C-alpha cells in the first residue's frame, strides 16, 4: 500500500499519502518451552484427570487445544499397529457462538499417531471414567460424543481447558511459565531432537 500511495502522490492524484511514514514497530517474543524432564515432572503434579489427559496428549502427540477437544472415542484404535494402538486426529473443536467441530487447521493436520504404553493405559482408564460418569447420572447424562466431557456428558470448551491449565500453572510457580500451546512446541522440539530432525 505504501508504494501505491507514494505513486498516487507523485502522479498528483493525492496531495498527501494516508500511510504513516514509519511502519509500526513489531515486537517478537521468544516462546519458552520445557525439556523432557520438566514435561514429565509437570505431568506428575496434575491431579485433575481431565487436565492430566489433555496435557499428556499435547506433550506426547503435539496436539493443539482444538484437536484435543475434537477427539472422539472412535478415533482410538487400541489394537492397531500390532497392539501398540493409534489415535486419529481428523477434527478440531472451535468456539464460535457455540462449540463446533471443524476440519483441522491444515490438510496435513489430519493424521494418525501412535500411542505410548502409559498413554494407552490412561486412555483406557479415562473411557472407564466416562462410563462411570454416565451410570452415576441415572439417565440425565447428555453424551456429546466427544472424548473430553464434563461429568454430565457435555463437551469441555476450549476456554475451560485453558482456564484449568492457567489455574494449575498459578499453583506451581516452580515450572517456567508457558502457555498451553507451548506444550505443543515443547513436544515438537523434543521429537525433532530425538529423531535427529532438521530444526
Higher pLDDT, 99 or 159: 159
pLDDT value of position 24: 63
pLDDT mean over 145-162: 94
| SS3 at position 127 | helix
According to the model, what pLDDT value does residue 98 have?
A: 59
CA atoms within 13 A of residue 113's CA, in its CB half-sphere = 21
- What is the pLDDT, as a whole number, of residue 3? 85
DSSP 38-100: HHHHHHHT---HHHHHHHHHHHHH---HHHHHH--GGGEETTTTTTT-EEEE--EEEESSSEE
- pLDDT the model gives residue 194: 87
> What pLDDT digit, counting tens, does each position of 20-55 carry?
777 667 776 677 889 999 999 999 999 999 999 999
* Lowest-confidence region among 10-19, 27-36, 128-137, 173-182: 27-36
Mean pLDDT of the 48-66 span: 95
Render pLDDT for 71-94 as a digit per residue (tens, 0 to 9).
Answer: 999 999 999 999 999 999 999 988
Q: What is the DSSP letter of 78?
A: T
Amino acid at each position: 500500500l505504501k508504494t501505491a500511495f507514494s505513486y498516487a502522490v507523485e502522479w498528483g492524484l493525492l496531495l498527501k499519502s494516508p500511510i504513516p511514514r514509519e511502519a509500526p514497530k513489531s515486537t517478537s517474543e521468544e516462546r519458552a518451552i520445557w525439556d523432557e524432564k520438566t514435561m514429565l515432572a509437570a505431568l506428575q503434579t496434575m491431579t485433575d484427570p481431565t487436565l492430566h489427559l489433555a496435557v499428556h496428549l499435547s506433550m506426547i502427540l503435539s496436539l493443539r487445544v482444538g484437536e484435543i477437544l475434537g477427539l472422539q472415542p472412535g478415533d482410538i484404535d487400541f489394537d492397531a499397529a500390532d497392539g501398540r494402538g493409534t489415535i486419529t486426529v481428523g477434527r478440531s473443536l472451535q468456539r464460535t457462538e457455540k462449540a463446533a467441530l471443524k476440519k483441522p487447521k491444515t490438510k496435513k493436520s489430519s493424521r494418525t499417531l501412535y500411542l505410548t504404553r502409559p498413554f494407552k493405559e490412561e486412555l483406557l482408564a479415562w473411557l472407564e471414567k466416562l462410563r462411570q460418569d454416565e451410570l452415576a447420572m441415572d439417565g440425565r447424562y447428555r453424551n456429546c460424543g466427544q472424548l473430553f466431557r464434563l461429568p454430565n456428558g457435555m463437551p469441555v470448551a476450549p476456554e475451560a481447558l485453558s482456564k484449568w491449565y492457567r489455574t494449575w500453572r498459578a499453583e506451581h510457580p516452580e515450572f517456567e511459565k508457558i502457555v498451553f500451546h507451548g506444550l505443543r512446541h515443547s513436544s515438537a522440539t523434543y521429537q525433532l531432537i530425538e529423531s535427529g530432525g532438521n530444526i
